[in-house]
Amino acid sequence: MDSITGKFVNSVREYLEQNGMTVTAFARRIGCLERCVARWLNGTNIPSTEYVIKTADALHWSVDYLFERTDRAAFMPAAAPSSFSERLHALLSSCKENKRTLARIWQVEPSALTKWLNGSRMPKPDTVYKLADFFNCSMDYLLGRTDIP
């Protein structure tokens, strides 16, 4: 497990411990299978970005807090939530690099970038983390959960 995903796992573990919650109860709360959460916690699986968002929504926390990018759990929800692809389009419109160069910088296949832009796929959470760093914005902004970059 990479260190970025490890931050998410640490946040979930801490939440479970502080709230005396079982993996089963937590999995039910976020709408996930217990074995999936157990695999995140033991490092054999990486949560999808969709489950990261579900976790943040269920806990009323920011995604950035889950990934230890901020020490504030609270965040201001977007007036009208956007999709990741909409936010990525907007951020790319002010970027001087072409898509192929960006794919190389982000260490992804150009086809992955195309799928993100057309909304048919979400990047992995560690990639969202890196994209937020690249665009100097929050993960929550990039994911369309807040209007505050």
- Domain 3-66: CATH architecture, name and number where available: Orthogonal Bundle (1.10)
Specify the 3-state DSSP secondary structure of 69. coil
- The number of helices, as runs of H, and strands, as runs of E, in the chain is 10, 0
Amino acid symbol at 37:
V
What local confidence, expressed as pLDDT, does residue 128 receive? 97
Terminal CA-to-CA distance of the chain, rounded, Å? 28
Do 84-142 and 3-66 have the same topology in CATH? yes
Q: Tell me if the domain spanning 84-142 has CATH number 1.10.10.60.
A: no
Per-residue pLDDT of the chain (149 residues; tens, 9 = 90+): 578 999 999 999 999 999 999 999 999 999 999 999 999 999 999 999 999 999 999 999 999 999 999 999 998 999 998 999 999 999 999 888 888 999 999 999 999 999 999 999 999 999 999 999 999 999 999 999 999 99
Domain residue spans in the chain? 3-66, 84-142
User: Are residues 63 and 127 in contact, defined by beta-carbon separation less than 8 angstroms?
Assistant: no
Query: Which pLDDT score is estimated for 1?
Result: 59
Nearest CA-CA partner of 29 in 52, 59, 70? 59
Structure tokens at 11: 């946040």
